[in-house]
A and B are shown apart, each in its own frame.
Chain A
Amino acid sequence: MGSAKQVDPAAAAELFIIRDHVHEPMHDRFLWATMQRRNKEAAAIPEWEELREIASTIKEHTLTHLDQYLEEFEANATKRGAHVHWALDAAEHNEIVYSILEDHGAKELIKSKSMLQEECQMAPYLQNRGIKVIESDLGERIQQLDGQPPSHIVFPSIHKTRQDVARLFARTIGTNPDNDDPHFLTEVMRNNARPRFLAADAGMTGGNFAIAETGTFMVCTNEGNADIGASVPPIHIASIGIEKIVPRVEDMGVFLRLLARSAEGAPLTQYSSHFTGPRKGGELHIVLVDNGRSRRLAMPEFWHSLKCIRCGACMNTCPVYRRSGGLAYGATYSGPIGVILDPTFDEFKYSELPFHSTLCGSCSEVCPVRIDISDQIFKWRRVMAKKGYLPLAKRLSFAVAGYVFAHPEEYHVVQKFAEPALEYAPHFLLYNNSLNPWGRDRELPHLAKQTFREWYLENRSENAKAAN
């Protein structure tokens, strides 16, 4: 991904918020409901926190022995008859996939959801070479038909209303635009996808986990679409990031108990499928993809982001994500996890993302593999500041704050004088629409009449005791 213009998440979020009175509140409500289901499921498991800790440590163990486990995975998968390919970057991943398809004269591809294939921009690459690429996950297909990337890593079209989908299907498939019943719309897609599954020359999936011990990879879906794509066409190609490895079959018990509960508040996804070598009569290709991951291992402050199992819980809990919509991030990965992953691909382009956060810390609290997401967001802010990527307005205010907090005497002076200033400043400076569109619907808390220090000196300090 080459350096392009900086994405402006705050401006894009504003468009989502002011679009109408429907989309943003709906988005917020659905994701919060998902979060509440997650909380209920988590609370029902007495060892939940222990599972998070174990999962985190298994991932850390794996990542700190990643070369060994990748070789073990490759050896076992190969022994079982899979073809294992290695791709240094997105371009090589796409070339490998295309060459497999070309070798077989494959013209039509049915694929299930894969964030890695999104990351590699695979679909446009293949389409430019004459391959018909069909998304089979309902949300992904909706996004594909609308010419948009997924806005959420688990619920790709969660930012759309049922009316949006009905109108889209009317335009692209020819159904009744006034029938916006989700049952009807799902049935439309089922009937639309079936012939494509049967006609496809190859099926593609991602991989949620790859087990070194057996050379197995697994895919979680609710629709069963990955299973159809893997079991009907003669060729199955799976794209798997090198960080998806786990050492042993036993480890999967921990991860599967966490994944769907964190993602959607269900004990499992409807289908948790394990592929170990090609199916009877089929051919299996596994593409292991680096695309910057091995480089990330060397970043002491950020390598823990490689533990991510792509559940999306950090997005569902995030007050900024829920109100922005995922497309506002202008990147493959959105929400808190996107804020810490995207800059590893392009620091300049995604330099604004770390500021698209309140640092409330909720993401770190819900992460099933205990990634210190919110700390990493803060650390990315420092990286961006050091590189001089801050927009002017922020650079000024942060510079002032940095000086003041480093000089406590001035702080007390400033704090006292800031009171009357802040009474007016928020609206003009912080919440001026053009300077900071985030502030449009927000208010700063009112300041206390007395500062804490004044109150302390009066009531609790040695002085106060002496006076009493």
Chain B
Amino acid sequence: MQRPQTSRETILTSIRANLPKPVEHPHIPVFARAGGPLKPAFEQHLREAGGAFHDVSSAAEAEAKLMALHPGAKVVCSAVPEIYGTRRVEAVQDPHQLADVDVGVVRAQFGVAESGAVWLTQEDLVVNALGVLSQHLIVLLDPEQIVPDMHAAYRRVRLNETAFGCFMMGPSATADVEATLVHGAQGARSLNIFFLSSPNQGLALQKTDVDPGEDQPID
């Protein structure tokens, strides 16, 4: 007995019967860029997207800057070795545990000059919800790791190696009420980029340093 055709087969059969004359895939050229450093363009577009940026020269300065920006923060959940925070994201078992995070801290792999966006993956966030449940975000970015545009950005991403990757351009925003721009719709209310070179291996936090489930004082 023939088994009934599945919707999958019906759809594919219908497509095959209806395909228009084949069109070739076009060549995507490498578009010429105006020269010059990428960081100023990144900064300008980040500002336009509602984000802010700071040059910091050390982990200590980064931590001090965080405290200055968010003096009232009770829960600082960090995914980076440079800033310990009050909670290590590696210790978070369930994304719901991030509901009370005031400040999330994460390092982006690279930035995109033409938009001011940064690329964050599941490996960077550890728990994806850190990027959107945190009330505020601090994103560390190596100033050397900025690509000019989205063409270069997509050459850099490894979508087959991560379950989640996001180009995040500034904080959450909406203009759904009378086209008025408001930041902090559902995701982070603010996004500050700290320009800080990637740490060497020696700085990297060891797994044993993490005390699961226990919040640490911020000092």
A-side residues, CB < 8 A to B, are 26, 30, 33-34, 46-47, 50, 53-54, 57-58, 60-61, 63-67, 70-71, 76, 80, 86-88, 92, 136-139, 142, 155-158, 160-162, 165, 182-183, 185-187, 189-190, 193-194, 197-198, 211, 214, 216, 222-225, 227-228, 230-232, 242, 247, 249-254, 256-257, 264, 266-281, 288, 290, 294-295, 297-298, 300, 303
The verdict on B22 contacting chain A, using a C-beta distance below 8 Å, is yes
User: Which residues on the B side are within 8 Å of A269 (C-beta)?
Assistant: 169
Given contacts A61-B24, A156-B176, A273-B164, contact A227 B187 (CB under 8 A): yes
Given contacts A47-B31, A298-B17, contact A280 B163 (CB under 8 A): yes
Q: Is the CB of B114 within 8 A of A267?
A: yes
B-side residues, CB < 8 A to A, are 6-8, 10-12, 14-26, 28-29, 31, 45, 48-50, 94-96, 99, 114-117, 122, 127-129, 131-133, 149-155, 157, 159-160, 162-180, 182, 184-188
A165 to B157 CA separation, bound complex (whole angstroms):
40
A300 to B96 CA separation, bound complex (whole angstroms):
50
Closest A residue by C-beta to B157: A249
User: Which residues on the B side are within 8 Å of A161 (C-beta)?
Assistant: 178
Q: Is the CB of A228 within 8 A of B133?
A: yes
Q: Is the CB of A158 within 8 A of B179?
A: yes
User: Which residues on the B side are within 8 Å of A224 (C-beta)?
Assistant: 131-132, 172, 185-188
Across the A-B interface, the 9 shortest Cβ-Cβ residue pairs? A224-B187, A298-B18, A139-B176, A223-B185, A267-B115, A253-B151, A182-B177, A231-B128, A294-B14
Sample of 7 A–B contacts (CB below 8 Å): A70-B11, A157-B177, A190-B186, A198-B99, A227-B166, A242-B11, A266-B49
User: Which residues on the A side are within 8 Å of B132 (C-beta)?
Assistant: 224, 227-228, 231, 271
User: Which residues on the B side are within 8 Å of A257 (C-beta)?
Assistant: 114, 149-151
Query: Which of A70, A86, A232 has the most chain B CB atoms inside 10 A of its CB?
Result: A232
User: Which residues on the B side are within 8 Å of A157 (C-beta)?
Assistant: 176-177
Q: Is the CB of A88 within 8 A of B187?
A: no
Closest A residue by C-beta to B171: A270
A76 to B180 CA separation, bound complex (whole angstroms):
41
Q: Is the CB of B18 within 8 A of A138?
A: no
**Per a CB cutoff under 8 Å, which of B23, B26, B174 touches A223?**
B174
User: Which residues on the B side are within 8 Å of A190 (C-beta)?
Assistant: 184-186
Q: State how many angstroms separate the Cβ of B133 from the closest Cβ of chain A.
A: 7
Q: Is the CB of B186 within 8 A of A228?
A: yes
A187 to B182 CA separation, bound complex (whole angstroms):
9
Q: Is the CB of B154 within 8 A of A253?
A: yes
User: Which residues on the A side are within 8 Å of B127 (C-beta)?
Assistant: 231, 280
Given contacts A222-B174, A222-B185, A223-B186, contact A253 B164 (CB under 8 A): no
Given contacts A250-B151, A268-B117, list 15 more A-B pairs with CB under 8 A: A57-B26, A182-B182, A190-B185, A223-B173, A252-B150, A253-B152, A253-B155, A267-B116, A271-B187, A272-B166, A272-B169, A273-B164, A276-B165, A279-B163, A298-B18
User: Which residues on the A side are within 8 Å of B157 (C-beta)?
Assistant: 249, 274
A402 to B45 CA separation, bound complex (whole angstroms):
54
A279 to B126 CA separation, bound complex (whole angstroms):
10
User: Which residues on the B side are within 8 Å of A276 (C-beta)?
Assistant: 159-160, 162-165
A255 to B214 CA separation, bound complex (whole angstroms):
44
Closest B residue by C-beta to A141: B176
**Per a CB cutoff under 8 Å, which of B19, B96, B150 touches A232?**
B96
A92 to B11 CA separation, bound complex (whole angstroms):
12
**Per a CB cutoff under 8 Å, which of A225, A242, A250 touches B154?**
A250
**Per a CB cutoff under 8 Å, which of B117, B163, B180 touches A277?**
B163
User: Which residues on the B side are within 8 Å of A47 (C-beta)?
Assistant: 31
A113 to B113 CA separation, bound complex (whole angstroms):
28
Q: Is the CB of A64 within 8 A of B22?
A: yes
Closest A residue by C-beta to B162: A276
Closest B residue by C-beta to A74: B8
Q: State how many angstroms separate the Cβ of B153 from the closest Cβ of chain A.
A: 7
Q: Is the CB of A193 within 8 A of B19?
A: no
A158 to B178 CA separation, bound complex (whole angstroms):
6
User: Which residues on the A side are within 8 Å of B176 (C-beta)?
Assistant: 137-139, 142, 155-158, 186
Q: Is the CB of B154 within 8 A of A61?
A: no
**Per a CB cutoff under 8 Å, which of A160, A231, A253, A300 touches B129?**
A231
Given contacts A86-B11, A266-B49, contact A274 B166 (CB under 8 A): yes
Q: Is the CB of B163 within 8 A of A87?
A: no
User: Which residues on the B side are within 8 Å of A279 (C-beta)?
Assistant: 122, 128, 163-164
Query: Which of A46, A139, A242, A253 has the most chain B CB atoms inside 10 A of its CB?
Result: A253
User: Which residues on the A side are within 8 Å of B11 (C-beta)?
Assistant: 70, 86, 88, 242, 288, 290, 294
Q: State how many angstroms separate the Cβ of B183 from the closest Cβ of chain A.
A: 9
Q: State how many angstroms separate the Cβ of B24 from the closest Cβ of chain A.
A: 6
User: Which residues on the A side are within 8 Å of B25 (C-beta)?
Assistant: 57-58, 61, 247
Closest B residue by C-beta to A256: B150
Q: Is the CB of B45 within 8 A of A267?
A: yes
Q: Is the CB of A58 within 8 A of B26?
A: yes
A444 to B127 CA separation, bound complex (whole angstroms):
62
A336 to B9 CA separation, bound complex (whole angstroms):
33
Given contacts A190-B184, A242-B11, contact A294 B28 (CB under 8 A): no
Q: State how many angstroms separate the Cβ of B17 from the closest Cβ of chain A.
A: 7
User: Which residues on the A side are within 8 Å of B26 (C-beta)?
Assistant: 53-54, 57-58, 61
Closest B residue by C-beta to A165: B177
A425 to B188 CA separation, bound complex (whole angstroms):
59
Given contacts A231-B128, A254-B28, contact A63 B20 (CB under 8 A): yes
A92 to B12 CA separation, bound complex (whole angstroms):
16
Closest A residue by C-beta to B177: A182
Q: State how many angstroms separate the Cβ of A181 from the closest Cβ of chain B.
A: 9
Q: State how many angstroms separate the Cβ of B175 from the closest Cβ of chain A.
A: 7
User: Which residues on the A side are within 8 Å of B178 (C-beta)?
Assistant: 26, 30, 160-162, 165, 182
Q: State how many angstroms separate the Cβ of A202 from the closest Cβ of chain B.
A: 14
A278 to B162 CA separation, bound complex (whole angstroms):
10
